[in-house]
């Protein structure tokens, strides 16, 4: 309940963490561009093979992203759920048959996994530096998001406190799903009140340190190396390979050829 | 080295009819160290924010200004790096994820050339004695260390006027002592003008050479060296709730009746929850195989540094959380209500017998008015309407909330919220004394008036046979209202039956 306790878990950026992992050595901006290229490049592909090749390449990268087993499990489950529900819906209601359904499911995963890898393997500060300095994202929202990210563990803490408080007041769903939903929104409102207050305080503190009063300089330089250029180039290359393999396997059926 | 000049200055917050401050005439010379005092709501923080240039047309705080406020002969204007501000909550002041980056943040905003930023960052970190590296995660620091970093961030901007708004209010005693040490050393080195707001006056009188007392909605009512102001106005200030050195409340309380155990922790082990975020880290054991007994008719203080697990132990003893191993079991009359471990109890039954007061009072408010809030518990306990209303009226009277019965709980002042949160934790049972009342930092940030009322109320419950359980840093509370202490440290608990001091 004490918001200032040391057991607050952090969106950790501990010293040197991640640096040991191959994928975290790239500029986050390069990773974002590569992931976006893959995502847009896969939109026309409806067959399982094209997206499958990209998904396989992304899966191969997972061990190099520094993700631990627990995170993989926590993040992977909703992921698989998303894939399998896409499969099911397309199988039941789609007009592309089993192959089309599988294609849609694999595509969803092949688009989402690279994005997830970017998030896992990038330090939030480096990510914001990359966005601002390399991709020219406006500074104010980028800094705002970064500061907000720091509040996520605090928010988790407040959520627990609000949850305990409901029980202390004698409020529980008692197995009633409608009451559970109503309760959830009640808690959400309490959390909102708290987070608006924290957010206002943080904004005041940022203002007190002269944020937004004029042109800023940058203490950190977001480096772009040859490997970053190579990564960005690798994305279309991977797409080309995927479409090529699918074509030679005879499974390629882009959207514009769909009946 | 900046001087400050206010004449006829006033401020009214947007949407309020009354002025927070009005008719303030005050001159602070360069290099002076000033302590601002006043009852809660006297506009001390407002004045600091105005000096920091945060009020006004492009400021973060909107409202209506009158009179003049000049810093170094010019209107206060944020962004020139003239003024450094340190506020209460370190968590709401750190912006960046890495320590060095956070100190650099202000310098970036001032447009300092990149090659000159890092030497200034290192210098500021050295000046406050920050022992961790530039890349150390800000989230992994203790409260005191976080605040140390906040001070470094303000210092790196080389302010000519340093504003401190209760910089130690949110810290445990160790953290507060750490930050006071940092400030002491700092003020010996710098010539910056200092304006300080602090509740606990005794701890900062050696940092300042002048005390200015503000009147809520008014201006300066007393001004001079600390010793003279306290000699002349001490009694008056104390009566208004200010913590005046040598005039702390000393309540005469009925002795603890004592009693039999109502609650026991048996081999309780607790771990931190799973972290959010991509590198949340594993779960840490905060309590290991803890045994403890809570007795009725006595006050038990859970003490220990922040993060030691005393809040965790409090939530476990109050039946709100489930221990990883072991159990919190009812004893005596509490076990007559339900003999299962407390975490298995239905919420409704728990609320009838075990009350909990949270550190942030808002967390426990579930309705839209003070009266509804007080009705909530008794009504759910199934009391007939007549009895519910009688109970509510009695509580409103007793806690001096009767004039505020129809107000939304969120709009109450800090002290009023605290009183209401205690009242809601009382009112669910067949009698209005819960068997157990658990409170998390109940006196935190309260003025002496609320402090006294709270202690009187809790002592009344103790006399009536409740077991009062408090997680607290407050040494004065421990001195006057504690029968046994549970010291939580190193995942274990040591019991200390003697009364402190």
Digit-coded pLDDT (tens) for B174-202? 888 888 988 988 888 888 899 999 887 88
Q: Which residue, among B95, B309, B408, B470, would best test binding to A if mutated, counting the most A CBs under 10 Å from its CB?
A: B95
CB B34 within 8 A of CB B208: yes
Chain A hits for B374, CB-CB cut-off 8 Å, are: none
Contact A164 B280 (CB under 8 A): no
Query: Residue A197's closest chain B neighbor by CA?
Result: B92
Encode pLDDT of B108-118 as tens digits: 999 999 999 99
Q: A with B: how many residue pairs have Cβ under 8 Å apart?
A: 274
Q: Looking at the complex, report in whole angstroms how far the Cα of residue A136 sits from the nearest Cα belonging to chain B.
A: 17
* Nearest of B288, B287, B298 to residue B263 by alpha carbon: B298
Q: Torsions phi, psi of A53, nearest 5?
A: -65, -45
Encode pLDDT of A117-170 as tens digits: 888 888 888 989 999 999 999 888 888 888 888 788 788 888 999 999 999 998
CB B91 within 8 A of CB B147: no
pTM: 0.81
Contact A194 B360 (CB under 8 A): yes
C-alpha span between B121 and B461 (Å, rounded): 52
Residue B95 sits at the chain A interface (C-beta within 8 Å): yes
Picking from A160, A208, A221, the nearest residue to B54 by CB comes out as A208
C-alpha span between B270 and B320 (Å, rounded): 13
Angle at which helices B370-380 and B414-426 cross, to 10°? 10
Residue B366 sits at the chain A interface (C-beta within 8 Å): yes
Encode pLDDT of A4-16 as tens digits: 333 333 333 333 4
Encode pLDDT of B267-326 as tens digits: 999 988 765 544 445 677 889 999 999 999 999 999 988 778 888 999 999 999 999 999
Residue B241 vs residues B37, B143, B234, B238: alpha-carbon distances, Å: 11, 27, 11, 5
CB B100 within 8 A of CB B121: yes
CB B289 within 8 A of CB B493: no
For chain B, what is the total number of helices (H) and then of strands (E)? Answer: 14, 19
Q: Which residue, among A167, A197, A223, would best test binding to B if mutated, counting the most B CBs under 10 Å from its CB?
A: A167
C-alpha span between B396 and B404 (Å, rounded): 9
Residues 8-27 of B with CB under 8 A from A: none
Enumerate residue ranges in chain A where pLDDT < 70.
Answer: 1-20, 254-259
Contact B106 A186 (CB under 8 A): no
C-alpha span between B20 and B413 (Å, rounded): 14
Q: Looking at the complex, report in whole angstroms how far the Cα of residue A209 sits from the nearest Cα belonging to chain B.
A: 5
Cβ-count burial B145-183 (b if 16+ within 10 Å, e if not): bbbbbbbbbbbbbbbbbbbbbbbbbbbbbebbebbbebb
Contact A156 B273 (CB under 8 A): yes
pLDDT at B500: 42
For chain B, the 3-state helix, strand and coil shares in percent, each to the nearest 5, are 35, 25, 40
The arrangement of strands across the sheet holding B325-330 comes to B285-295, B261-271, B325-330
Chain A hits for B286, CB-CB cut-off 8 Å, are: 7
* 3-state SS string for B297-350: CEEEEEECCCCCCHHHHHHHHCCCCCCCEEEEEECHHHHHHCCCCHHHCCHHHH
How does residue B355 score in pLDDT terms, banded at 50, 70 and 90? very high
C-alpha span between A67 and B10 (Å, rounded): 55
Q: How many CA atoms lie within 13 A of B295 on its CB side?
A: 17
Q: How many CB atoms lie within 10 A of CB B355?
A: 31
Q: Looking at the complex, report in whole angstroms how far the Cα of residue B227 sits from the nearest Cα belonging to chain A.
A: 32
Across chain B, what does the average pLDDT equal?
88
In sequence order, the 6+-apart residues with CB closer than 8 A to the CB of B16 are B63
The ranges assigned to domains in chain A are 2-129+222-257, 139-208
Q: Where are the alpha helices (DSSP H) in B355-474?
A: 370-380, 385-398, 414-426, 448-463
Residue B351 sits at the chain A interface (C-beta within 8 Å): yes
pLDDT at A149: 80
Query: Which ipTM value was assigned to this complex?
Result: 0.85
The arrangement of strands across the sheet holding B436-440 comes to B354-357, B436-440, B467-471, B298-303, B484-489, B492-496
Encode pLDDT of B431-445 as tens digits: 668 899 999 999 887
- Looking at chain B, the whole-number percentage of residues with pLDDT higher than 90 is 45
C-alpha span between B343 and B322 (Å, rounded): 5
pLDDT at B274: 64
Residues 281-300 of B with CB under 8 A from A: 281-282, 284, 286
Residues 43-72 of B with CB under 8 A from A: 49, 52, 54, 59-61
pLDDT at A156: 85
* Nearest of A56, A58, A110 to residue A86 by alpha carbon: A110
pLDDT at B431: 64
Residue B16 pLDDT exceeds 80: no
pLDDT at A144: 82
Contact A209 B105 (CB under 8 A): yes
Contact A190 B272 (CB under 8 A): no
Contact A11 B105 (CB under 8 A): no
pLDDT at B340: 94
Higher pLDDT, B495 or B51: B51
Encode pLDDT of B452-486 as tens digits: 989 999 999 999 999 999 999 888 999 999 999 99
């Amino acid at each position: 309940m004490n918001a200032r306790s040391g057991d607050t878990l952090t969106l950790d950026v501990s010293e040197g963490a991640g640096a040991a992992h191959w994928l975290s050595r790239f500029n986050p901006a390069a990773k974002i561009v590569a992931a976006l290229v893959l995502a847009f490049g896969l939109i026309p592909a409806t067959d399982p093979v094209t997206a499958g090749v990209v998904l396989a390449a992304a899966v191969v990268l997972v061990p190099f992203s520094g993700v631990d087993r627990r995170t993989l499990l926590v993040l992977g489950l909703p992921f698989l759920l998303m894939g399998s529900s896409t499969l099911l819906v397309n199988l039941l209601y789609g007009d592309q048959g089993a192959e089309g359904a599988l294609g849609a499911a694999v595509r969803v995963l092949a688009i989402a996994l690279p994005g997830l890898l970017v998030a896992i393997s990038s330090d939030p500060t480096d990510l914001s530096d990359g966005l601002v300095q390399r991709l020219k994202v406006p500074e104010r929202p980028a800094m705002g998001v970064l500061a907000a990210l720091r509040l996520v563990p605090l928010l988790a803490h407040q959520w627990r406190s609000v949850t305990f408080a409901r029980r202390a007041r004698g409020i529980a769903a008692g197995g009633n799903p409608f009451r559970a939903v109503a309760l959830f929104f009640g808690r959400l409102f309490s959390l909102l009140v708290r987070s608006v207050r924290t957010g206002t305080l943080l904004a005041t503190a940022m203002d007190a340190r002269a944020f937004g009063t004029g042109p800023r300089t940058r203490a950190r330089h977001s480096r772009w190396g040859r490997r970053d250029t190579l990564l960005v180039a690798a994305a279309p290359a991977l797409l080309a390979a995927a479409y090529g393999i699918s074509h030679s396997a005879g499974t390629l059926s882009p959207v514009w050829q769909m009946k | 080295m900046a001087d400050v000049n206010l004449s006829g200055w006033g401020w009214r917050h947007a949407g309020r009819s009354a002025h927070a401050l009005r008719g303030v005439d005050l001159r602070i010379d360069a290099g002076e160290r000033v302590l601002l005092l006043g009852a809660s709501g006297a506009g001390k923080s407002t004045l600091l924010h105005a000096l920091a240039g945060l009020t006004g047309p492009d400021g973060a705080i909107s409202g209506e200004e009158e009179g003049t406020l000049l810093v170094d002969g010019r209107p206060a204007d944020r962004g020139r790096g003239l003024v450094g501000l340190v506020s209460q909550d370190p968590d709401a002041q750190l912006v960046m994820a890495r320590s060095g980056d956070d100190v650099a943040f202000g310098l970036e905003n001032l447009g300092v050339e990149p090659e000159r930023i890092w030497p200034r960052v290192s210098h500021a970190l050295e000046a406050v004695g920050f022992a961790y590296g530039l890349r150390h995660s800000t989230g992994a620091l203790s409260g005191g260390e976080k605040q140390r970093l906040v001070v470094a961030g303000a210092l790196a901007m080389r302010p000519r006027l340093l504003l401190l708004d209760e910089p130690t209010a949110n810290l445990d005693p160790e953290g507060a002592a750490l930050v006071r040490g940092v400030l002491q050393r700092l003020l010996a080195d710098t010539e910056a003008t200092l304006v300080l707001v602090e509740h606990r006056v005794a701890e900062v009188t050696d940092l300042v050479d002048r005390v200015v007392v503000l009147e809520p909605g008014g201006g300066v009512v007393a001004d001079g060296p600390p010793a003279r102001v306290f000699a002349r106005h001490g009694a008056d200030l104390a009566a208004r709730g200010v913590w005046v050195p040598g005039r702390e409340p000393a309540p005469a309380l009925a002795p603890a009746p004592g009693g039999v155990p109502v609650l026991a922790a048996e081999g309780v082990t607790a771990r931190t929850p799973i972290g959010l975020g991509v590198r949340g880290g594993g779960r840490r054991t905060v309590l290991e195989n803890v045994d403890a007994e809570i007795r009725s008719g006595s006050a038990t203080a859970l003490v220990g540094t922040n993060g030691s697990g005393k809040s965790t132990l409090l939530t476990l003893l109050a039946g709100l959380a489930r221990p990883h191993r072991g159990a919190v079991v009812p004893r005596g009359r509490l076990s007559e209500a339900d003999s299962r471990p407390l975490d298995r109890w239905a919420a409704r039954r728990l609320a009838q017998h075990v009350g909990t007061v949270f550190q942030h009072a808002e967390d426990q408010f579930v309705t839209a008015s003070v009266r509804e809030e007080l009705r909530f518990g008794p009504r759910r306990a199934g009391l007939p309407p007549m009895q519910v209303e009688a109970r509510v009226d009695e509580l409103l009277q007793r806690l001096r909330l009767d004039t505020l019965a129809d107000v939304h709980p969120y709009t109450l002042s800090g002290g009023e919220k605290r009183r209401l949160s205690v009242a809601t934790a009382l009112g669910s049972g067949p009698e209005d004394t819960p068997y157990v009342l658990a409170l998390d930092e109940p006196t935190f940030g309260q003025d002496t008036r609320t402090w006294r009322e709270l202690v009187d109320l809790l002592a009344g419950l103790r006399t009536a046979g409740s077991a009062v359980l408090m997680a607290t840093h407050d040494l004065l509370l421990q001195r006057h209202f504690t029968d046994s202490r549970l010291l939580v440290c190193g995942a274990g608990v040591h019991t200390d039956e003697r009364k402190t001091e």
